[in-house]
Every structure is written in structure tokens, then in C-alpha cells.
Amino acid sequence: MANNNEQLINKIVELVGGKNNISAATNCMTRLRIRLKDDSKVQHDQLNATEGVMGVVKAETLQIVVGPGKAKKLADLLIEQYNISPDASTTNDWQENKDAIKRNQKQSKLKSALETISGIFIPMIPAIIAAGIFNGFSSLIGTLQGEEVLSANFWEVIRLLFSLIGTGFLGYFAIYTGINSAKRFGATEALGGMIGAMSIAAPIVDISQLFGLYDAEQPLNSILTTGKGGIIGVIVGVFILAKIEKVVRKRVPDVLDLIVTPVITLLITAILLVFVIMPVSGILSDWLVSGLSVIIGSENAVINVISGYILAAVFLPMVLLGLHHGLIPIYAIQLEALGGVSLFPVLAMAGAGQVGAAIAIYFMCKKAGNDRLKQVIAGALPAGILGIGEPLIYGVTLPLGKPFITAGLGAGFGGAYVMLMNVMANAWGPSGLVAVPLMHADKMVHFVIGIFIAYIAGFIITRIFIKREDVANA
């Protein structure tokens, strides 16, 4: 496998214009992301046709879909064997910097902001998934204990241990967010972590009470309290921290930099965080939660069904445009405010609809004699069932066109059911069957039912609208 990965990365380097055309590289769950000096040197058709490559996405960075696990291994090989920087900010080539700035200017501000958000949260995805799974199993064990199905002290120890692991990340999510935000914005990482820690520290309540900003009867309604503003406040706070730190560092003598810069930076940022950023971002978070409550988790069953269908049906185009990264702060806000995420289970149905569509195309391939597409589907389906949908998107449904639409239409039925059943998740991650442990214990069955509804609906709608000649000529 190592040799196969080495051969694949060598081929990728050749097809993107060689080592000298690569300025930086990184990866997400399923994609190798390469920042190029000259996009015109990329041989896109040959790269797309390379064995092991499931798709190619043209964006600010060249994104090569290779699947889970492999993306990380290929990125490591590229960085180590070709001495490629894992961070574009380390380059000293002025021409390269100029080209990068021009690429950023061509990119919309919205996509740039969403890529920044993505860069903050993608490194935390493994921990988010693990913490959610452990919290899910802890909740399940607690439910079974309450029903006296499990009663031994052994199970109580297991429940507490699982809860400890889950809380070890999600309980301090603000701190991890602060650290990763500092990486993204070019601030000192430890200072970014301190901003996250300040936002959840107990002295916030004492300060709030001192200025009459605390509501003792309903603490969550306080203008200022621990966690007010959530991760929005933390990200904004670290962004401002980065700006202040750079300004202060320029004006402080080198001999005093280690002491003076962090002290002044933290003092100014802390004042802004407590009295401006947290209250304002808290208001924005409350508005967002209130707005979402109108369409998500409504007491009106009809609204639930309609909103669940639409959200699941349009999620695949959002993934295609890269807009899905903007949902991560919404997940986090829901988790903080409601104790669970209701949006994620609904959107997870999009991947299931795609699995159903791919199965329909697979059977049509057998009749039409398209062995190449049949093999692509066979290789991508297991990942799709486990919640990694990009191989199916870029290798099957999107190239064919119509199945990309029918998959979304089928997914909507699963989304409608999941929303109607008020399914909630402890965290977010891959969207397939591996997401079952992320759900609240009493909603796991409904999540699985939703997935199979999306499978069946995606299969039926695709079978109706896709003709044999569409598959034969693919």
C-alpha cells in the first residue's frame, strides 16, 4: 500500500506541473489540497483519469479527492519526500505571494470566509467525532441503567469513563477553537487558547455581576456570562488578538517582546472580549438559534417535514460549492445552546440519498454493459455508506449530471423523517451509518430509519428518471 501511495503521489506531482509548481500542501478528510503557483500547468483530464483519484475540484487550492485515510498519507508523502511546505504562509518567494494574493482577490469574500472557518475546524474533526461517540455511548448506558437493563458498578465506571473522554474535548471546545483560530490568523497559539479559556472561565460571572449584566434567575439570558457568544465570540476575539499582537510587536523593542507583547495584547483583547465581543456575539447567537427554531424543531409537524426535506435536498449542491463549511459554527452554537445538534442529522441524509442513487446506477450499468462505471461505484459505495460522500459525488453522480439531482430529491425524504422525529446528535462528523453512535440514545433508531428511507427514495427516483443510454454513454 505504501508503494501504491508513493506511485500515486509521484503521478500527481507530475500532472500538476512538477514539484516547482507546488507552493504548499495539506489535506482534509478525503481530499489532498495543493496550492499551486500556476494553475494552467495542471493536466486536469489526465489527473481525473488517474487510478486512485476519485475526483478533482478546482478552487483556491487544487483539491484532489482520494478518499479517507489516503488523503492524509499522500499529504505526508508530498510534504516529506518533495520538501513541500505544509503552510503557505512560510514561503518567502515574493512572486509566489503576489500570485496567491491575486488568487484571493478573484475569490469571493464569502468563499474566503468559509475556507477560513473550514481551516479552523477541520483539524478538530477527529476529536469532535470521538468525543461525540463516547458521549453517545455514555448516554446510551445511562438510559439502559435508568431502565434497569444494566445495573452493575462495572457499567457505571464505563459510563463515567466515556463521559470523561467526551467532556475532555467538548467541555473545552472553546479553548481548542481559540488555538486553531490563532493558527489560522497568525497569532500566538497559546494566546488564542487563552482567549477561548477566558470565555468559559468562572470570573466572567463575577465581572458580569459587578456591572449588573448578570441575570441570576435565568443565567443564560444574561448580557454577559460564561460561554456567552460561544465559538463566534472566540473566533472574533482571536481575530482581533492577532491584529493587536502584530501591531504591538512592531512597536516593542526585541529585548522586551517576550514580556511586553503578550501582556499588552491580552489586556486589550480581554477588555474587548468581555465588554464588547461576548455580549454582541451572544446576541447574534441568540438570534441565530431563534431563527433556526422557526424551521428546525418547530412544534408544527408540517413545517418540520417541509424544512427537513428542503435542507437535505439542497445539501449536496452546498457541498459542491464549498458552502457546507459555513454550517460548522451553527452546529457548535446548537450544541452549546440546546445540548445537541438537530441540523446535522437532517443534512446527513444527503449522503444516504446519494448511496441509493449510486446503487440504482450500478444495476443499470450491469444491463448497459458499462463495466468501468460499475467498478467506480463498487469502489466508492463502501465509503458512501460509511458517510464519506465525495467519491460518489465526483466519481459518479456529478459527472452523470441528473443523478446528482435525483440523489438530493431522494435524500429529502430521509431529511423530512429525521426532522419529524426530532433526531438530535451529540456532535457531527461523517454522515453515514458510522454517525449512529453520535445520535442521542433514544433517537438512534430513527436516524437509521431515516438513512434507509433516503436509500430507497434515492434509488427509486434515480431509477425513474435515469435512462439506460445515460449510463451506457457515461
Q: Which residues are catalytic?
A: 28
d(CA 99, CA 50) in angstroms, rounded, equals 28
d(CA 158, CA 136) in angstroms, rounded, equals 12
d(CA 167, CA 132) in angstroms, rounded, equals 9
User: Which neighbouring-strand residues pair with 62?
Assistant: 34, 58
d(CA 235, CA 249) in angstroms, rounded, equals 21
d(CA 165, CA 186) in angstroms, rounded, equals 30
d(CA 136, CA 353) in angstroms, rounded, equals 25
d(CA 226, CA 279) in angstroms, rounded, equals 11
As given in the structure block, the three cell numbers for residue 52 are 486512485
d(CA 73, CA 68) in angstroms, rounded, equals 10
Q: Give the CA radius of gyration of the chain.
A: 24
Among the listed residues 292, 329, 272, 346, the one whose alpha carbon sits nearest the alpha carbon of residue 113: 329
Contact yes or no for 434/332 (Cβ under 8 A):
no
Contact yes or no for 84/49 (Cβ under 8 A):
no
Among the listed residues 69, 22, 56, the one whose alpha carbon sits nearest the alpha carbon of residue 41: 22
Contact yes or no for 440/349 (Cβ under 8 A):
no
